[in-house]
Amino acid sequence: MKNLKAIGLLFMALLIGLAAAVYAAGWVSRQGNIASNKVVIAAVDIEMGSKINPQMLTSTDWPSGSIPPGAFKDIKELQDRVVKVSVLRGDAVLERKLAPVGTQGGLSAVIAEGKRAMTVRVNDVVGVAGFALPGNYVDVMVNAQQDRAKGEEGKQISKTVLEHVLVLAVAQESGRDDTKPKVVSAVTLELTLEDSEKLDLARSVGTLSLVLRNQIDKKTVATAGITKSQLFGEKEVPPTAVKVAATTTTTHKPRVFIASPAAQPAAECVEVIQNGSRVLNCF
């Protein structure tokens, strides 16, 4: 009786194994029948701004239903095209990753339409200790002395003049895959023409600082800047009235004149009344 039960269990196991094998064979057969097309992919890592040659590319089978838009089937179509973003090995080379046909290689190929590239001199402090890397976004702050009004001393002020500026390159490197800090002497920024003018003026009148910001934070914050007196909590004293005493050679009482705050700084004046005439002498 025990032998019959063991034989039955063995037979059942054989049936289950056979069914699993048949199912697996059918699944493999169905996968092999999926339609596929050739798609061009990167055979090596291609740096941003590089001109493509056939040695950088290869082709592979790609399921027809999941071919990404803008993919290429023939390597010859990509001869001498320039990539405007870095393409990693094994990634499909897509039209949106390429600069327009006829573009020459280099940094100019990756500048967005309507933008300009401008380089500013930095050090380890201005360059955020080397963390302002290609692909990051920064704000630009200037520390300068304001123009003096009449009778006033120019105030030192720090103010953010540009926000959400893309770093295109540091020194002569434009690769965006390295996350290690690089202390360099120059940083190239992508700007509109108007912002380029602001930056050029800012670096001529004061000291620049780069402020690293979150890559996905696109909010802008308008500030009035901060002066030295505001930083230390000092209250600015408003202009006060200036009293000018007038003396006469007669027995008339002295007069007091109150100068308005907007008037020019008053000098000491003396009114002299003699023989019915008045003369005002100021010193």
CA distances from 145 to 206, 209, 231 (A): 7, 15, 15
Overall pTM > 0.75: no
Which amino acid is it at 257? F
Lowest-confidence segment of 69-73, 226-230, 275-279 by average pLDDT: 275-279
Q: Give pLDDT, residue 179.
A: 67
The C-alpha atoms of residue 61 and residue 175 are separated, in whole angstroms, by 29
Q: How confident is the model over 228-247, as pLDDT tens digits?
A: 888 888 766 555 544 444 44
Q: What integer is the mean pLDDT of 250-260? A: 49
Q: What is the CATH number of domain 36-108?
A: 3.90.1210.10
**Helix, strand, or coil (residue 132):** coil
What are the tokens at 262? Answer: 């907007």
Q: Give pLDDT, residue 162.
A: 93
Q: Where are the domains of the chain?
A: 36-108, 113-231, 243-282
The C-alpha atoms of residue 223 and residue 217 are separated, in whole angstroms, by 17
Question: Is the pLDDT higher at 194 or at 124?
Answer: 194
In percent, the amount of the chain with pLDDT more than 90 equals 18
CA dihedral sign, ordered 171, 42, 135, 109: positive
